[in-house]
Amino acid sequence: MNKYDLHSHTINSDGSLTATQLIDLAIEKEVTHLAITDHDTVNAHLQLAQLPEPYESDKISIIKGVEFSSQWNNMGVHIVGLNINIHSAAISEAVNKQTQIRLQRLSTIAHKLTKKGFPDITEGALAVAGDSQIGRPHIAQYMVQEGMVRSVGQAFTKYLGAGKVGDVSSVWPDLEQVLAWIHDAGGVAVVAHPSRYKMTRTKRRRLMADFADAGGQAIEVCTGNQVPGVAEEMAALCDTFDFHGSVGSDFHNLEYQWVKLGRYPKLPNQCRPVWELF
């Protein structure tokens, strides 16, 4: 039996496992097809390509993926690219651009936090991130470390989450740019966790329409920690816009008990699975 998980993170972005640790865990969970989709980096795939031993076997296939940050109507929207050519010029350009944006965004967030009376978090957050693609979770972790907040959760609810000072979305490229990168790399573009954005149903349909107009082919119908009924609602959007459906846990680490690798609600029968497009 095939078991797909088409959205997961490693330590190369804001996950905590290395690529090989993640693959070992996936095999343990009987995942047969795993897409590694770090935020704005493909370093996990580049590292895997350097291994002396093959990391794929009859137990597991690894799908090359990425999760790009984009903006739509001044809101951050994540677009997963699946089955991409990680050595393409488009992906190199995309990763370089997104890395620069992330560094600039860090300064912007740091500046906004100083206005709230905090010391400059730039260097500290970079140190937490180390070689990983810098993200808000690293900033949150540093804020906890320095006693600015009690927990990562509190850092997001008070300062970094949707609508707060540290939520800077205007820096990201638009949908058209991100889809061009994915398509130029031979990949399939997928709207990540569509139900998780804070928007009305009407607005979500407008996002879907714009994504379809830009050549988008799929959305995540099933993600980790998803409440009952959402998969059916997303499947209905697939019907309307002729999208394929993707599935993925959005696994980051073993500490988030509510998200397990390989675990998400069942893909509704009417949905054409995204892997038909690979």
DSSP 204-223: HHHHHHHHHHTT--EEEEEE
Q: Is the distance from CB of 165 to CB of 112 less than 8 angstroms?
A: yes
Stretch that binds Mn ion, among 53-61, 86-94, 122-130, 187-195 (CB under 5 A): 187-195
Measured from the CB atom, is 8 or 69 closer to ligand AMP? 69
**5 near Mn ion (CB under 5 A):** no
> Site for ligand AMP (CB under 6 A): which residue of 65, 124, 135, 187?
135
Task: Write down the least CB distance from residue 242 to ligand AMP, Å.
Answer: 28
Q: Which helix (H) or strand (E) holds 190?
A: strand 188-191
Stretch that binds ligand AMP, among 110-118, 130-138, 229-237, 239-247 (CB under 6 A): 130-138
d(CA 209, CA 198): 17
Sequence-distant (≥ 6) Cβ neighbours of residue 98 within 8 angstroms: 40, 41, 68, 69, 133
d(CA 35, CA 135): 20
Measured from the CB atom, is 20 or 225 closer to ligand AMP? 225
Q: Is the distance from CB of 248 to CB of 191 less than 8 angstroms?
A: no
**78 near Mn ion (CB under 5 A):** yes
Measured from the CB atom, is 146 or 276 closer to ligand AMP? 146
Please give the residue whose beta carbon sits closest to ligand AMP in the complex: 135
Binding site for Mn ion (CB under 5 A): 14, 67, 78, 192, 250
